[in-house]
Structure 1
Amino acid sequence: MLRLRRGVLTQVLSSLSASPVSPLHRLISAAAPAISPNPSFPVEEYLVSTCGLTRPQALKASAKLSHLKSPANPDAVLAFLAGLGLSDADVAALVAKDPQFLCASVERTLAPVVAGLSGLGLSRSDIARLASLSRYRFRCRSIVSKLQYYMPFFGSFENLLRALKRNFYLHSADLDDVVKPNVALLQECGLGACDIVKLCISQPWLLTANLERVQAMVECAENIGVPRASGMFRHALHAVAFLSEDKIAARVKYLKNTFRWTDAEVGMAVSKSPMVLTRSKESLQRRSDFLISEVGLEPVYIAQRSEIIGHSLEGRLRPRYYAVKFLKENGLLKRDPNYSTVFKVSEKAFRKKFIFPHKEAALDLAEDYDAACKGELPTNFRFT
């Protein structure tokens, strides 16, 4: 059924900018013959056979559609979604999550929403993705005004989708009473537009949370030793987002014990790299074992350069350490390397400094290093 009507709706949707309601209404009326109300309309069977829901999904969804007496409106909605470009699987997923979408008025709601979103510059495929993600909010005309604010705020539709996937409530939060005051608070903290966007893509709950809760997070970030003016403040907010003071204190204590830090050293480590608070205990323990026990770094050295802890152990720290260790053992380095530099520099810079200059003296170094970066860590790099 969806495929049969896809062609009809495609023609209609292309004319939305000129007349978003009347042509659509006429074509759908022509495409779907009038159906007399049927008090015994088998909703559950319709959801399975026409919408593609599983039997358990249909049984659950039918409870919200018991008032339907005929397939007329659901048919129009399904045709509309097919015309937008949603696949049968997308439609089934949408209906399973929001059965009442089938009751939305194409003429009064869905068509005007699509026309409004098109006016914001969204393509047909963008609108289809938004419909799949937004569910019941897509059948609220206020979605257009919300996106009119969020599109320039996030800078791109892709960024907006990433945030929406993490926080469905962006659609429903009041812009003037909730979202904008939170943005203003972040600006008062010294965060620029770019930093705010990066923070809100990863932690979009900051936009829809109670203002007092966001203020408390700001205070938490300051309490772990990161001042508002610091370039690390965005990371500090990310790290403490929705963590209680007790949980933060417990994580700080674990860091102190795991890396053998003094109070001053753990404070320094957290202030320099707040994201260490988000690492799992297992991850921290493994990095401590490697950096202290295997590499031989002093705890204070790690505290002063705590961003090292944030790097991938298997994808960066171990491969680079073993490559440098190989070079040292075979007399290919003039002086001992600074491990902070070894671990921090970009991959391109590391290869330029430690791999490429030795490709003639150590023919297999590059190959062994590549293997190590993929997790195939050799016991000893080969020297031939």
Structure 2
Amino acid sequence: MEREARLVVHVAEVEALKASAKLSHLKSPSKPDAVLAFLADLGLSTTGVATVVARDPKFLCAIVDGRTGLALSRSEIARLVPLAANDHFRSKSVVSKVHYYLRLFGSFQEFLRALKGNQHLLSHNLERVVKRNVGLLQECTLGSCDIGKLAISMPRMLTANVEQIRAMVASAEGLGVPRGSGMCRRALQSVAFVSEEKIATKMEYLKKTFRWSDAEVGIAVSKGPFVLKRSEDMLKRRSEFLISEKYMVQQGKVQTVYGT
């Protein structure tokens, strides 16, 4: 027990004890030493190494040579490892997943941003889950760029179940935003993981606050679905401003609500 605990360098005592139980099978420190040397070579700080080992003690058993296929710089790998360290990162499939996400998001920085928002990106099956969801979004005639932007703002949708994605698309169409329209991405972003009841409640609030008819609120939301993401407090202030300034012309009302 003592020998394995010593392998967990820079980790707090409690975490080291937890980790040692998962490393009790080790007969030689050569592999952990190689991993620690790899992490040190990446330039990880003491805290960074502690984070990696605490998250995944078995990372000390990884074959680190395989990570060179990620097509990332040393500094990029150093930023990725503390976020991604788990049994899935030790899998060979991580290389194809990282390559796919780099293409989808357009840059390592955006991929990292999405991973911070959804650390399950590397654990879900790429073909059966992620690409399936991307395919459903493509059916809305969204291009790769739009899907990438959508996924950056809402990375959870890449690993959501298929019913949630279909419900999201149906809700966007229910706002009067057809597939393929320029506002489709905004509509999907505005209704993602929001229940029909909450959408209906927000629509009713808009109608009451701005004194709109059903037709007017429908026009407003279809032209700018992101109004559904605005807080009630902000919408109330906008409404008071509009009414006080007598901005009651239809076009003026709608544009001012959106902040344009």
How far 1:65 moved relative to its partner?
2.9
Q: Answer 1 or 2: higher relative contact order, Cα 8 Å, separation at least 6.
A: 2
Aligned to 1:97: 55
Q: Read off the aligned partner of 1:257 and give its amino acid letter.
A: K
How far 1:127 moved relative to its partner?
1.1
Q: Deviations over 1:70-95 (max 9, x none)?
A: 89254442222111121222222223
1:168–1:41 distance in 2 versus 1, CA, 3 Å: same
CA distance in structure 2 between the partners assigned to 1:164 and 1:170 by the alignment: 6
Aligned to 2:204: 253
Aligned to 1:130: 80
Aligned to 1:110: 64
Aligned to 1:298: 248
**Which of 287, 293, 314 lines up with 2:238 in the alignment?**
287
Q: Does 2:10 align with 1:51?
A: yes
1:190–1:68 distance in 2 versus 1, CA, 3 Å: closer
Aligned to 1:309: 257
| Dislocated runs of 4+, deviation >4 Å | none
1:182–1:46 distance in 2 versus 1, CA, 3 Å: closer
Contact 1:146 1:175 in 2 (8 A): yes
State the TM-score, normalizing by the size of structure 1: 0.61
Work out which of the two has the higher radius of gyration on C-alpha atoms and give 1 or 2: 1
Aligned to 2:121: 170
How far 1:148 moved relative to its partner?
2.1
Q: Does 2:201 align with 1:242?
A: no
CA distance in structure 2 between the partners assigned to 1:86 and 1:41 by the alignment: 23
Q: Which runs of 5+ in 2 are unaligned?
A: none
CA distance in structure 1 between the partners assigned to 2:117 and 2:252 by the alignment: 33
How far 1:282 moved relative to its partner?
1.7
CA distance in structure 2 between the partners assigned to 1:201 and 1:95 by the alignment: 28
Q: Secondary structure at the match of 2:89?
A: helix
State the TM-score, normalizing by the size of structure 2: 0.88
1:62–1:291 distance in 2 versus 1, CA, 3 Å: farther
| Aligned residue pairs, count | 256
CA distance in structure 2 between the partners assigned to 1:264 and 1:232 by the alignment: 19
CA distance in structure 2 between the partners assigned to 1:46 and 1:147 by the alignment: 29
**Equivalences for residues 39-78 of structure 1 within 5 A:** 39-41=1-3, 43=5, 50-53=9-12, 58-60=13-15, 62-69=17-24, 72=29, 73-78=31-36
CA distance in structure 2 between the partners assigned to 1:139 and 1:260 by the alignment: 57
Aligned to 1:155: 106
How far 1:288 moved relative to its partner?
2.0
Q: Secondary structure at the match of 1:243?
A: coil
Q: Which runs of 5+ in 1 are unaligned?
A: 1-38, 312-343, 345-384
How far 1:217 moved relative to its partner?
0.7
Aligned alpha-carbon RMSD (Å): 2.3
CA distance in structure 1 between the partners assigned to 2:242 and 2:151 by the alignment: 33
Identical columns (%): 52
**Equivalences for residues 1-384 of structure 1 within 5 A:** 39-41=1-3, 43=5, 50-53=9-12, 58-60=13-15, 62-69=17-24, 72=29, 73-102=31-60, 104-105=61-62, 109-113=63-67, 115-117=68-70, 120=71, 122-136=72-86, 137-293=88-244, 295-298=245-248, 300-305=250-255, 308-311=256-259, 344=260
CA distance in structure 2 between the partners assigned to 1:130 and 1:247 by the alignment: 36
CA distance in structure 1 between the partners assigned to 2:19 and 2:7 by the alignment: 14
